[in-house]
Chains A and B, each alone.
Chain A
């Protein structure tokens, strides 16, 4: 097991290196001179040249990458030239919002998706299965800005149960905080559950054909035990993968949902950085989000080993 963990950890290194190179190149190869952006239209060529020298922009690309990477490794991701905030500060300020949104959305998504998938697989081809598979398909093709607006209309405008937009930190007003998060999390969850449901349903249906399920029936086990103990665990590998990808994606913030519900998350930070051409923030945030993705995938790999002893013992 330890061997397995170390192997997976070492495997992450080249991925992280590639990610850093890509984020650096994207930011550096964007058209437009950073020094010119900072100094504005009135800058004299001398000033621009001086700033380029100060920022190291006159150095060759590979040198700039290496020196940036050197700083990154030491935890220095740079500083916004507009707000003066470091990348880490900016991210630390926004990450609780995106993290909470992600957790709540994923929780609601799994809460809907998993039971529906099990119920559908238990009676595959039945009326409930066909209805839910159809609904999932409909939900999947619904863009999140539309879901968001419909939910706001229903719960905030018509029923007046929940606030439409806004944010307070959890530490200040927990209940109000949760109320602010319900609609955005629900918007995301409504887009998440169809995927969760579809992969788990099809894996469950395949598992229920297995010999060991026939044996479990022949052993006279209760149907609930067959579904939840014998079938769910071996069917959940793809589910874990999908959930991991969802979490990674939501970690990076959700541009549309954060914008519609006015939540100050990573998504809004990124949009802001793009609008103001704040390349340092953009590059740093993209790198951090990518790292988060890699870490989530590592956790997914570990979960595989927890779920399937054959992976744990290096048999598969």
Chain B
């Protein structure tokens, strides 16, 4: 462990960022607590008291984390971090793309298309190479789920492009 000194420097920043993030959350809470209008309603403890306490607590804890981070941090000492594999940018990107695809597509194209895109991308992130099989699997799965919701529970989760096609193929009206 005598050669850890030069390696220590890069590991200080991540922990510091965490501390600053908690501080920022505390600041955000404080700001939101301050904009709650003071209510003239009869109350011993108003709507602002607890938000102030929570904001104060977060600021204190954030300061504590910053202090620990500046003294060398904690995360490099974690057992799990010492033998963790390096960041897998490919997997993270694909997974992130899956989440974004779902958010972007669920409105305009409907649940099945969005969830299928998500499924295929996430499976690819975890090393699946069988794109077509995943696609078919996802389509079947999401359509079954969609019809389960609409037919069994009677919940309208909005028919998208794909659901409309299937409904028309079945000779049904498209809501």
The yes or no verdict on A and B being binding partners is no
Binding site for B on A (CB under 8 A): none
